[in-house]
Amino acid sequence: MNKIEHIGIAVKDIEQSNALFSQLLNVQPYKMEIVESEGVITSFFMVGETKIELLQATHAESPIAKFIEKKGEGIHHIAFGVNDTNTEIERLLGQGFDMIHSAAKPGADQQSIAFIHPKSTNSVLVEICSAIKQP
């Protein structure tokens, strides 16, 4: 794994949290994006080489809605940048990690992503991601 690509933070009200994190980080979000497959609306801030991703649920069955219900707002996942998500999935499966996604899928911000099950990683939800190569 190459670097911490981003840190995902679960929030209840993304507009309110955009304002808060803009003040905190002294930078505006560079994009907002809905990820239908995850039931989330996201916003991204660039902090040096690392992004902060805010996530708000778009419906009650969203994993983010369930997370907030159980644990409240806060850090949801850490995402590590890798060269190729599918290659890294194979390596992690070989090491015995339990993958939530056994194949890469499209995520927000033009990334090919997969999540490792937190029961494999001391309850830390870990995402791996690589940039989707533009044709």
Residues binding Zn ion (CB under 5 A): 8, 53, 79, 127
Nearest CB to Zn ion, comparing residues 8 and 29: 8
Q: What angle do CA 117, 118, 121 make, to 5 degrees?
A: 110
Nearest CB to Zn ion, comparing residues 91 and 105: 105
User: How far is CA 59 from each of CA 64, 85, 112, rounded to the nearest angstrom?
Assistant: 9, 28, 23
**Cβ within 8 Å of residue 108, ≥6 positions away:** 33, 35, 40, 42, 44, 53
Least Å from the CB of residue 103 to Zn ion: 17
Nearest CB to Zn ion, comparing residues 50 and 86: 50
Least Å from the CB of residue 113 to Zn ion: 7
Structure tokens at 67: 């997370």
Least Å from the CB of residue 60 to Zn ion: 21
User: How many angstroms separate the CA atoms of 123 and 68, rounded?
Assistant: 15
User: How many angstroms separate the CA atoms of 42 and 109, rounded?
Assistant: 9
Least Å from the CB of residue 110 to Zn ion: 12
Nearest CB to Zn ion, comparing residues 99 and 135: 99
Q: Which residue is nearest to Zn ion (CB)?
A: 8
